[in-house]
Amino acid sequence: MADAVLAPPVPRRLRATSRRQLAVLADLLLAGAICLVGYRYGTHWLQVQEASWVVGLLHLFGVDSVSGVLPTRILIFRADGELLNAVVTASCSSILSVVGLTALTASVLRSRRWHAVAGLAVAIVAVLVANHVRLLLSTVIGLQWGGGSLVLFHDWVGTLWNLAATLGGFLLMVYVTLPPSVRAEQDVAGRHTARRPSSWARPGLGYRLPETDQTAPVQGRNLAGLVHRFLLPRRISRWLGARRETARIDYRIGHLPVEGRVKRVGALAADGLGAHTASLLAVATYEQDGAVLDALADAIAARQWEPVTNERVSSLRLWARGWTLSRGLHATVAPAPAAVLPAAPAPAAAPVPAPVVPTGVPRPPVPRRTGPTLRSFARPAPSPSAPDAEDPR
C-alpha cells in the first residue's frame, strides 16, 4: 500500500486574547527600549547641562563663589576656605523621569497624537524646572552651611522632592493630554447641553448631567482656540474643525420636538453625508419616531450622487435602503375580498394503501463519499486508520 500523503497543517488564527497579549508585549518592549536608549545616550548630556544651568543662574544673580569648569560638577568655594565638589550624578539628574514619561506617552497615550506630544513637552519642562530648583537649593545650602547640610538636604528633602516632581509631571501630562469635560456641547452662554435625551439613553453615548437652570459663566479662550486663531492657517483650521465635526454626536437633536428633529436631520444631511456622519448614525440607531427616520431615509436617498468616502457613509446608505424596503413592505396591505362564498365540498378521496416493505431483502450499500469530510463540534473527522462505516445520514 502506498504511503499516504499528509496535507500540511493549516495555521490557526490568533484569538483575540492572543492578539491582545502580543499588543501588550509590544508596548512593554517599546517602553523598555525607550528607557534603555534614552538613559544610555541622554544621561551624560543632561548631567552636564543641569550643572551648567545651576552655575549660570547663580552667576546671573551675582554669586561668583561657584564654578562649573568641570563637566557634571559644581565647585563651591565657601568663605571659610572649604571647597565642596558637588557631583551631579545620574540619580541626581532628571533623566529617569524624562525617559519614564516618554516611554509612558509612547506606549499608553500615543492614540492622542499631538495632544500627547504637547502633554509630554509640558511635563518634561516641569520636571526639568523642579529638578533645577532642587539642585539650586542644594548648592545654596552647601554654600551657606557646609557639606553636611548639603548632604542632608540632598538625601532626605531632595529624594522626596524628586518623587513629587515626577508625580506632578505625570499628572500635568495627563491633564494636558486627555480632553477636558468642558469640550462637550455648549450653547452661546456656555451652559452644558450634552445631556442625553431619554430616547437615546443607551450605553456608549456619553453621560447625562442633572437638570439645572443655572447658567455657567462664559469661559475664557483655551489653548486650542488660541492656536486655531493665531497660529494655524485658516484652511488647516477649517479642515481640522470639519474632521472633528464628522466624529461628533450632537446630543441636542434628541431634545427637539418631532418637527424640529425632522428639520435638523434634513439640514445635517444637506451639508453632505460625510459632514455630520456621527450625528446621522446616532439618529438612525437610537431614534424611535417613524417620521424622523423616514425623513432621514429620504434625505439619504436624495444624495445618491454623493461618493462613498468611508465605511460610515456606506452604513448610512445601507440603513436607508433597508429602512425604505421595510417601510414599503409594512405599508402594503392585501385587499379584502368583496364577498365570501361558501366553498364547494371536496370529493372524498380514495384511501391510499400503506406501502408494503418486503422483509428479508438486504439493504443496498450506501456509496462511500470521496470528497472531504466536513468537520464540526458534533461530528469529529474520521481517523484514517478507522474501518469504513456507514454514512450517518
Domain boundary (162, 181, 200) is at 181
Q: Are 158 and 258 in a shared domain?
A: no
Asked if residue 295 lies in contact with residue 256, where contact means CB atoms within 8 angstroms, the answer is no
Could you tell me the three cell numbers for 97?
523621569
Q: How far apart are CA 103 and CA 84, in angstroms?
A: 36
Cα-Cα-Cα-Cα dihedral of 227, 228, 229, 231, to 10°?
Answer: 50
Based on the fold, state whether residues 87 and 166 are members of the same structural domain.
Answer: yes
Nearest Cα neighbor of 284 from 270, 274, 294, 272 is 294
Is 31's pLDDT higher than 70?
A: yes
Closest by CA position to 252, among listed 333, 197, 319, 310 = 197
Contact (CB, 8 A) for 27 and 35 = no
318 or 13, higher pLDDT: 318
Q: Is the predicted pLDDT of residue 129 greater than 90, yes or no?
A: yes
Higher local confidence (pLDDT), 300 or 229 = 300
Query: How many other C-beta atoms lie within 10 A of the C-beta of residue 49?
Result: 16
**pLDDT of 14:** 59
Specify if 354 maps to a domain: no
User: How many Cβ atoms are within 10 Å of 128's Cβ, its own excluded?
Assistant: 20
Top mean pLDDT of 126-135, 346-355, 370-379 is at 126-135
Distance CA 53, CA 68 (A): 9
239 and 303, same domain (yes or no): yes
Domain count across the chain = 2
Higher pLDDT, 163 or 335: 163
Give yes or no: residues 153 and 295 share one domain. Answer: no
For residue 147, is it within any domain? yes
**Do 47 and 174 sit in the same domain of this protein?**
yes
Whether the Cβ atoms of residue 74 and residue 134 lie closer than 8 Å to each other: no
Neighbours of 135 (CB within 10 A): 22
Does 269 reside within a domain?
yes
Owning domain of residue 264: 234-329
The confidence band for 45, taking pLDDT boundaries of 50, 70 and 90, is very high
pLDDT digit string (tens) for 147-199? 888 888 888 888 888 889 999 999 999 888 876 655 555 444 444 455 556 66
pTM: 0.53
pLDDT at 214: 44
**Is 161 in the same domain as 285?**
no
My answer on whether 240 and 160 are in the same domain is no
- Which of the listed residues 329, 352, 385 is the one where a domain comes to its end? 329
- Contact by Cβ (8 Å): 76, 142: yes
Looking at every residue in the chain, the average pLDDT score rounds to: 75
